[in-house]
Structure 1
């Protein structure tokens, strides 16, 4: 019996592929408004500070490839084929749907590489992929809204935390705090009961419980520079507060709202947060990001399998 070909739209924010992409990329993020020269200089400086460009493009492609392979290893009813669909740079979400249509794919699953749902973020991916499917016609796409509860995701971070603590003298664990962070969003999401903050909190609690972490806190990072207020506390303010209140000697950072090494982690965490932590006389720690770790890819695969109502093949 032939396998049913099923599309998999792996959706992500995207990142500049080369220096020349920085201006059009951020112009797209700003809804067609070109950044000021000062903003362009600041953005360019940040990329140069992490080596020139973000590794996110390579990691996103690698994650899509690994997820496709894992899904095809897990079951025998369908042949999954992954297509990248990016929000602010090519290949765009609409490009992925168009390519699937040209290949005759009638059924697909879409998943955003962001664990937590928000009307402001993940829903915008879903709206675009569904609109594109309607435009080409003859295609049904099942969209996953969140996957933060998947056991593989919790397992990845709990294992990563245990590894980080193994590098800290046990006598100093009582003076160690884990700081769980996610990308801040505008505070206005709270007026509509957006589940994003609660989902992030649930994730932090689940990971801390699994890893048996005694001291942990949550903060928001990478807020946009707009006139409207964004979710807080900001990570830098939280570091100062925790140090002042508890005099922690070790800060372990877990950016649970992100899934790969990229600008927000390599610059905002590894440079800005590290600088502040060390200026306070404490030590900065950060586990590696999920990237293509087996636990993490298993989490994504489990979510896709559930969404597409596929029973795992016997013996797999």
Structure 2
């Protein structure tokens, strides 16, 4: 399967104070979120002058992808499109059509399956092609990569680096806590079933083993729904309180559910949870995410190679069966599955 281009597809984020509320309205459109709730979330962005780190990180990642392509002696134009803010996926796909791109690989900045972490990206692809109209390129979304060796390596290394930032006398006793974005329990049951939560749990085991930890905790963060709706638990705030009651003096938090240090990492963890940890008397270190690490660029291009050359998928294999997508057929990747809308053409 040959490709004329690579599309980096992401969530998007505001890049100035005037963009914060319109961005949040885009994200929540049709969900009936009260205005006061949006204004509360807006304060998180305004704490950083209304600029989400995500677009800047993605531009830096694209630069690393382009540098990696040059090192490999390959030529592949890289486009950038978002779901919720400029540059929008519709504009990116239209530009690709205008540039004569016939087929492009799509690298989503989410390693997981499930609705918001996979299916919505498929919907973004369909919307982008519809906006481009006649002559829109075929777009092939690449597979989930939660178990890719480079992702496991980056997170395991980040845990080690974070541990070294703790006071020397606390490093050996620090509790390792993995966190990922919570979602409604009903949503997790619909896709897979429990595809997202199973993949997160699987990845935590892989990374913990690579980092040399036999014991660890896996929790959830950043829930936003009404209290009456059950979400994946335990919440990291509740878990931190429980650790304090058990006498824990230090934690290393690894945001394994995020591939970039965007707002739900730098605010929810670096601000709110860090403040809670200080109040509880717990020393906290937070592991970095892949961001624009060159290895993350290599991972993206390795996925392209898998499809282009028909290579076997690179995976770290755990003790349990790999929790693959429920839409795959005979072990094929989602991009190859006739039952999945990840591959959208004509």
- TM-score interval, normalised by the smaller of the two chains: 0.7 to 0.9
- Whether the 8 Å CA contact 2:20–2:50 is kept in 1: the answer is no
Q: Could you list the runs of 5+ residues in structure 1 that have no partner in the other structure?
A: 312-316
**Tell me, what secondary structure is at the counterpart of 1:83?**
strand
Which residue number in structure 1 is paired with residue 294 of structure 2?
A: 294
Task: State the Cα distance separating 1:62 from its structure 2 match.
Answer: 1.4
Task: State the Cα distance separating 1:130 from its structure 2 match.
Answer: 3.6
Q: Could you list the runs of 5+ residues in structure 2 that have no partner in the other structure?
A: 312-346
Which residue number in structure 2 is paired with residue 89 of structure 1?
A: 85
The partner residue of 1:111 within 107, 128, 149 is: 107
Which residue number in structure 1 is paired with residue 188 of structure 2?
A: 190
Cα separation, partners in 2 of 1:282 and 1:13, compared to 1, 3 Å? same
- Whether the 8 Å CA contact 1:186–1:231 is kept in 2: the answer is yes
* CA offset digits 1:224-244 (Å, max 9, x no partner): 233532211111111112232
The partner residue of 1:16 within 5, 14, 17 is: 14
Distance 1:87 1:251 in 2: 34
CA RMSD in angstroms, aligned pairs only: 2.3
Which residue number in structure 1 is paired with residue 273 of structure 2?
A: 273
Count matched residues: 305
Task: State the Cα distance separating 1:310 from its structure 2 match.
Answer: 6.9
Which residue number in structure 1 is paired with residue 237 of structure 2?
A: 236
Which residue number in structure 2 is paired with residue 208 of structure 1?
A: 208
Which residue number in structure 2 is paired with residue 80 of structure 1?
A: 76
Tell me if 1:259 matches 2:259.
Answer: yes
Task: State the Cα distance separating 1:171 from its structure 2 match.
Answer: 5.2
Task: State the Cα distance separating 1:133 from its structure 2 match.
Answer: 3.2
* CA offset digits 1:80-112 (Å, max 9, x no partner): 111111111122222211111111000100111
The TM-score normalised by the length of structure 2 is: 0.81
**Tell me, what secondary structure is at the counterpart of 2:77?**
strand
Tell me if 1:248 matches 2:248.
Answer: yes
* CA offset digits 1:29-53 (Å, max 9, x no partner): 1225786553343233212334542
Q: Pairwise mapping of residues 31-110 of structure 1 onto structure 2 (< 5 A)? A: 31=29, 36-74=34-72, 76=74, 79-110=75-106
Distance 1:106 1:302 in 2: 21
Distance 1:165 1:64 in 2: 29
Distance 1:169 1:91 in 2: 42
The TM-score normalised by the length of structure 1 is: 0.88
**Tell me, what secondary structure is at the counterpart of 1:116?**
coil
Q: Pairwise mapping of residues 122-141 of structure 1 onto structure 2 (< 5 A)? A: 122-133=118-129, 135-137=133-135, 139-141=137-139
Deviates more, 1:287-296 or 1:208-217: 287-296
Cα separation, partners in 2 of 1:46 and 1:131, compared to 1, 3 Å? closer
- Whether the 8 Å CA contact 2:164–2:171 is kept in 1: the answer is no
